[in-house]
Amino acid sequence: MKIFLDSDVLLDFLLGREPFLNDIKWILELSLKKQFKLHTSSLAIANIHYLIAKTINAEQAFTRVNKLITFVKIIKVGEKEIKCSLQSKFKDFEDGVQNFSALHAEMEVIVTRNIKDFKTSSLPIFTPQEFLAKTRK
């Protein structure tokens, strides 16, 4: 199964944000057991680096992003994804870019805590908690 992780859940892991940390840790652990492959976009990686550098420092941003890319594959964002987002009904441009990156890379689901922002997506959208409940069935 190919899973797209939105930047919010990746930041939960990298910044140790409670009460969300355990769910994303469990998803990462399951992926290491080869139950599924995790992906995110190059845009998410850039946003994550920026936010960590801003909240902690640039050195930690570099270290944590380096850690992240050892277990999450990066999907490129290009002109096609930008244009699709601009022409879509997504209220938030960045969420649209994430959605179309996932869609064009043939992801099977998007895992995010911002489900309402992805309501126009054609992909199944789950919170980390919902995704874990689905995989345990």
Q: Is 34 left (phi over 0), alpha (psi -120 to 50) or beta?
A: left
d(CA 1, CA 34): 9
Question: Band of the pLDDT at 80, cuts 50, 70, 90?
Answer: very high
d(CA 13, CA 75): 19
> What range does the domain containing 126 cover?
2-135
pLDDT at residue 33 in the model: 87
pLDDT per position as a tens digit, 34-57 = 889 999 999 999 999 999 999 999
pLDDT at residue 135 in the model: 87
Res 137 pLDDT > 80: no
pTM: 0.94
Q: Name residues whose C-beta falls within 8 Å of residue 101's C-beta, 6 or more positions apart in sequence.
A: 4, 41, 43, 75, 76, 77, 81
- For residue 99, give the CATH number of its domain: 3.40.50.1010
Domain total for the chain?
A: 1
Is residue 79 classed exposed, middle or buried when 0-12, 13-18 and 19+ CB atoms within 10 A define those classes? Answer: exposed
pLDDT per position as a tens digit, 60-76 = 999 999 999 999 999 99
Structure tokens at 20: 């969300």
